[in-house]
Amino acid sequence: MARIAGRIDQAKSEAILDAAVEVMAERGFSASMEEIARRAKVSKQTIYNHYGCKADLVGALSERRAQQMTAPLDTPGAADHPQEALAGFARSLLSAVAAPGSLSFMRVAVQNAVDMPQMARALYEAGPRASRARLAAFLQAETKAGRMHVPDAPQAAEFFAGMVIGSFQTAGLLGVPADLDADQIDSIAQEAAARFLRAYAS
């Protein structure tokens, strides 16, 4: 079970998470906590004290990424400008798909999922599932405010994420470069947000 956040300073926590992504992308979920600690320049006990176990560490990695992706939905004024908020969320998704480091980690996660289901579940629950739930909550709030009409917010959240990611994620997981630059990412994000809002117009 994860320890209470704040027992180590933020910089040290970020160093641990950054090191964990790097090491696990190279060696999979079986990567040693010793190696993660060495790269983070902390003791192994510090990691255990803060995260409890490797599954909790993987969950924290995924939670951090989900928070980064959904940040556009929580910015001041996002509720009043749903198209901008959705486009921002879409950019975050596509940027992750286009990032070699992020995809390397996900490829390793898929490869390890059968042998280490607890790790895979921790990654899924704190990452993709949590980000979709946050998007669904945003859509529910927009519906309540009368700016959108979304009868089934969880389903609509899945529709939007799927429309944005398309085959880019599959290509990335197979090691085929997404070849998306910043302008292409922005164009796809804006178009997806506009089409989605038209589909769920109030």
Cβ pair 119, 29 in contact under 8 A: yes
Where do the CATH 1.10.10.60 domains begin and end in the chain? 1-52
Percent of the chain at pLDDT above 70?
96
Tens-place pLDDT, residues 119-178: 888 889 988 999 999 999 999 999 999 999 999 999 999 999 999 998 888 888 888 877
Output the six-digit token pair for 6. Answer: 């704040």
Q: Is the pLDDT of residue 7 over 60?
A: no
Tens-place pLDDT, residues 67-84: 999 999 999 999 999 999
- Name the helix (H) or strand (E) containing 134: helix 128-144
Q: For domain 1-52, say whether CATH 1.10.287.180 is its number.
A: no
Surface-to-core class of residue 159, CB atoms within 10 Å of its CB (0-12 exposed, 13-18 middle, 19+ buried)? middle
pTM above the 0.95 mark? no
Where do the CATH 1.10.357.10 domains begin and end in the chain? 62-199
Distance from C-alpha of 135 to C-alpha of 70, rounded to nearest angstrom? 7
Percent of the chain at pLDDT above 90?
58
Please give the C-alpha separations between residue 92 and each of 21, 87, 118, 193, in angstroms, as whole numbers.
18, 9, 26, 13
Q: What mean pLDDT, rounded, does the chain reach?
A: 89
Indicate the CATH number for domain 62-199.
Answer: 1.10.357.10
Output the six-digit token pair for 182. Answer: 């910043």
Nearest to 65 by CA among 30, 24, 31: 24
Cβ pair 11, 65 in contact under 8 A: no
Q: Residue 164: count other Cβ atoms within 10 Å of its Cβ.
A: 25
